[in-house]
Amino acid sequence: MKHSVTELPFNTFLGIESASDPSQLLRLPFAPQYLNHLGTVHASAQLALAEATSGEFLLRSLGPDSGVIPVVRRLESKFRKPANGSITSTVSAPPETLDQLRADLAAKGRAIVSVPVELHDESGTHTLSATVEWFITKLP
C-alpha cells in the first residue's frame, strides 16, 4: 500500500503534494491549468484535493499496512468563496471518529466513516468545506 495519497497516479498527475505546515495535510500548488473561466481555482480541482485529503487522513490514522480497503461512497461540499493561488487542506475529525472506525472494523470487518475537510487558499480565505464518506472493509 502507498505511504501517501500523493503517490497515487491521479494525485501525482494533478500535482497534489504534502503540505509543509504540520497543521495542514495536503497542498495544491498554484498553476494555470487549475483555473476556471473566472480565473479562480476550478471546483473540480478543489474537490480532488478534498477527497485526497480525507484519504491521506485515513492513511495516516490507520497506517499503510492496516489491511483495509477504503472506497469513497459520498462527497458533500459547499463552496464558500473563490479560491486564488495555492490551496491547503485540513481535517477536523474528532478522536472518537477513529475510535468508532477501529471498533467497527474489529467487530464487523467493515465500517463507514465521514471525514470533514476544509480548504483555504494562500491568502487564508476559506474556500470549501466538504465531508467525504468512506466505506472501509478489511482485506480477506
Q: What is the pLDDT of residues 78-133, one digit of tens each?
A: 999 999 999 999 998 898 999 999 999 999 999 999 999 999 999 999 999 999 99
**What sign for the dihedral angle of Cα 7, 13, 19, 25?**
negative
Which CATH number does the domain housing residue 15 bear? 3.10.129.10
- Kindly report whether the global pTM for this prediction surpasses the value 0.85: yes
> 50 — phi, psi (to 5°)?
-65, -45
Domain of 25? 5-138
Domains contained in the chain, number: 1
Instruction: Give the model confidence (pLDDT) of 16-38 as tens digits.
Output: 999 999 999 999 999 999 999 99
Sheet holding 126-138, edge to edge: 17-18, 26-28, 87-91, 110-121, 126-138, 68-79
Q: Name the burial class of residue 115, with classes exposed (0-12), middle (13-18) and buried (19+) by CB atoms within 10 angstroms of its CB.
A: buried
Distance CA 6, CA 3 (A): 9
C-alpha distance from residue 79 to each of 44, 49, 54 (Å): 11, 13, 17
Instruction: Give the model confidence (pLDDT) of 48-89 as tens digits.
Output: 999 999 999 999 999 888 899 999 999 999 999 999 999 999
